[in-house]
């Protein structure tokens, strides 16, 4: 008994108005049941009956917040894929495209022709310059040859005149070495020297052709101090090639000219040869 009394002493105090709350709850439930039964039995259409009930608990408790259901988010509507639109090509567009293509091809062909024409003109200009350069070089070469020939002709003429002066002295003229007269020369060939030269060369002439007249071949002969022939040149052709060649061959065959009475041999001589002399 003592333990039970202790438990009662420490028990929570009784809730005031508990009996009244139970009575009201039972009454409310009975009314609710009656209303539901009446509505199901006598009426086809459902009627909304507002019922209020006040509930009391033995201990005060904080009510939890009402559960609010969040409606699901609607799924995004699928984005419609636009149908592929095929470009429509009209006859005018086709004609325009073909015209552009034709013009492009014509432009390429024209550019190619212009390049070829430019290259051809450049090549012709280069060939023209080369031809002009060759012509200029040829003219310069001709001018040099002509000048050289003139110089050689002047030199040959001078030698010829000198030889004529010396040969004139074969008759025996006197005077200084620079004298231009016909008197006996003190330093020229002797009177018989020309005959001695011809006598040395003429036996070596081989000529058997029958000729009319007495053609003259004039030859310049250059010698060394000992009389060795070091060069010969036909100054005046006879007009008969075979006679000229025979004279030149005879001079080559002679090789050495005789010395003059004073033991000297002129460095340059002009000798005249005739077949009937």
Q: What is the pLDDT of residue 127?
A: 92
Q: What is the pLDDT of residue 174?
A: 42
The neighbouring-strand residues paired with 229 are: 223
Residue 141 three-state SS: helix
Measured distance CA(109)–CA(121) in Å, rounded: 18
Per-residue confidence of the chain (277 residues) as pLDDT tens digits? Answer: 455 555 556 666 666 677 888 888 898 889 988 888 877 665 555 555 555 655 554 555 555 566 656 666 667 667 667 666 565 667 788 888 889 898 999 999 999 999 999 999 999 999 999 999 999 899 999 899 889 999 989 888 888 887 777 665 554 444 444 445 444 444 566 777 888 888 888 888 888 888 778 888 898 999 998 889 998 898 888 888 888 898 899 899 888 888 888 888 888 888 888 888 7
The neighbouring-strand residues paired with 234 are: 219
Q: What is the pLDDT of residue 210?
A: 81
- The 10 Å CB-count burial string (b at 16+, else e) for 186-197 is eebbbeebbebb
Measured distance CA(52)–CA(36) in Å, rounded: 15
**Would you list the domain boundaries of the chain?**
193-273
Q: What is the pLDDT of residue 8?
A: 54
CATH of domain 193-273: 3.30.1150.10
Q: What is the pLDDT of residue 186?
A: 44
Q: 254 and 229 in contact (C-beta within 8 Å)?
A: yes
Residue 176 three-state SS: coil
Q: Report the relative pairing of strands 268-273 and 229-236 from DSSP bridges.
A: unpaired
Residue 185 three-state SS: coil
Contacts 24+ apart (CB under 8 A), 135-138: none
Q: 170 and 193 in contact (C-beta within 8 Å)?
A: yes
Edge-to-edge strands of the sheet including 229-236? 229-236, 217-223, 268-273
Give how far Cα 123 sits from Cα of 63, 141, 275, Å: 111, 26, 62
Using only the alpha carbons of the chain, give its radius of gyration.
76
């Amino acid at each position: 008994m003592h333990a039970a009394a202790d438990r009662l002493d420490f028990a929570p105090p009784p809730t005031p108005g508990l009996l009244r709350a139970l009575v009201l709850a039972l009454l409310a439930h009975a009314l609710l049941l009656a209303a539901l039964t009446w509505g199901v039995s006598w009426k086809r259409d459902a009627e909304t009956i507002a019922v209020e009930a006040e509930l009391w608990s033995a201990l005060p408790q904080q009510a939890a917040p009402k559960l609010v259901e969040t409606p699901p988010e609607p799924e995004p509507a699928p984005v419609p894929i636009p149908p592929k639109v095929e470009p429509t090509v009209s006859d005018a567009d086709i004609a325009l495209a073909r015209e552009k293509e034709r013009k492009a091809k014509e432009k390429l062909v024209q550019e190619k022709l212009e390049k070829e024409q430019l290259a051809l003109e450049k090549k012709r200009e280069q060939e023209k310059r080369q031809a002009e350069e060759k012509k200029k070089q040829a003219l310069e070469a001709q001018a040099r040859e002509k000048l050289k020939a003139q110089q050689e002709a002047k030199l040959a003429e001078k030698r010829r005149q000198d030889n004529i002066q010396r040969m004139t002295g074969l008759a025996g003229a006197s005077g200084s070495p620079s004298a231009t007269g016909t008197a006996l020369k003190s330093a020229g060939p002797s009177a018989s020297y020309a005959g001695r030269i011809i006598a040395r060369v003429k036996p070596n002439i081989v000529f058997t052709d029958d000729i009319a007249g007495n053609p003259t071949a004039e030859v310049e002969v250059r010698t060394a101090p000992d009389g060795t022939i070091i060069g010969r040149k036909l100054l005046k052709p006879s007009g008969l090639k075979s006679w000229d060649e025979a004279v030149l061959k005879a001079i080559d065959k002679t090789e050495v000219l005789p010395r003059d009475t004073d033991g000297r041999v002129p460095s340059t001589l002009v000798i005249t040869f005739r077949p009937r002399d």
